[in-house]
């Protein structure tokens, strides 16, 4: 029998967006694929592993430095932005709203959800613009929540 844990994160979309802050990580990351487990980088060098369907390989997000020095073919040099709010895995629409806002600014994003936080992999060189878009979105939602009529 397995234990199930209640997730501690926020589920309210309005609250998540109104309290949104973010952290930019200094490394440049890349997406690579390896054919088999024996080729995987050590766990300490990887941000994410994901087993693709149909034996296409294993997607690895690692630093560009690691991939280059170990001969991994890679794509999508990017920066990682961690959304500092603790979102519930059951929160509906949070990443969709953020990704849609970034898309409206002409920016692709590869989101990854962890147990506590969501992470956005933003094209290299677009990180400052992404931060601006995220800050504007959060400020807009804070203003909306402050101006919302209270129900008594």
**Domains in the chain, start-ordered, CATH in brackets?**
13-147 (3.30.2130.10)
Spatial neighbors of 60 by CB under 8 A, at least 6 apart, are 31, 32, 33, 34, 40, 41, 46, 48, 49, 72
pLDDT tens, 37-76? 888 999 999 999 999 887 789 999 999 999 999 999 999 9
Average pLDDT, the chain: 91
Q: Is the pLDDT of residue 104 over 90?
A: yes
Q: What's the confidence (pLDDT) of residue 27?
A: 97
Q: What's the confidence (pLDDT) of residue 39?
A: 86
Q: What's the confidence (pLDDT) of residue 145?
A: 82
Q: Is the pLDDT of residue 152 over 60?
A: no
Whole-model pTM?
A: 0.88
């Amino acid at each position: 029998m397995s234990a199930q844990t209640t997730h501690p994160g926020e589920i309210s979309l309005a609250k998540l967006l109104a309290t949104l802050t973010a952290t930019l990580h200094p490394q440049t990351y890349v997406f690579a694929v390896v054919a088999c487990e024996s080729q995987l980088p050590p766990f300490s060098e990887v941000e994410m592993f994901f087993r693709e369907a149909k034996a296409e390989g294993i997607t690895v997000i690692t630093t560009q430095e690691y991939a280059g020095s170990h001969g991994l073919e890679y794509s999508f040099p990017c920066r990682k932005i961690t959304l500092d709010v603790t979102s519930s895995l059951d929160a509906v629409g949070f990443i969709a709203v953020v990704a849609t806002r970034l898309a409206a600014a002409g920016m692709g994003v590869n989101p990854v959800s962890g147990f506590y936080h969501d992470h956005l992999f933003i094209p290299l060189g677009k990180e400052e613009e992404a931060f601006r878009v995220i800050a504007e979105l959060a400020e807009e939602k804070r203003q909306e929540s402050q101006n919302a009529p209270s129900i008594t």
